[in-house]
Amino acid sequence: MADWQQPPENSLISLAHGISNSDGIELDLRFTADNELIIHHDAKVSVNKQLLDNRNPYVESWELDELHDFGFCSFRQMLEHKDILKNWHDEGKMVCLELKRPHPKS
Other Cβ atoms closer than 10 A to 46: 14
Q: Phi, psi at residue 44, to the nearest 5°?
A: -100, 150
For the chain, report the end-to-end CA distance as a whole number of angstroms: 46
Closest CA to 59 of 37, 83, 75: 37
Characterize the bridge pairing of strands 94-99 and 37-39: unpaired
Mean pLDDT across the chain, nearest whole number?
92
Domains of the chain, each with CATH number or no CATH = 12-99 (3.20.20.190)
Closest CA to 70 of 6, 11, 5, 3: 11
**18 contacts: CB under 8 Å, gap ≥ 6:** 25
Whether the pLDDT of residue 70 is over 70: the answer is yes
Whether the pLDDT of residue 1 is over 70: the answer is no
pLDDT, tens digit, 9 for 90 and up, residues 3-52: 878 888 888 999 999 999 999 999 999 999 999 999 999 999 988 888 88
Whole-model pTM: value is 0.86
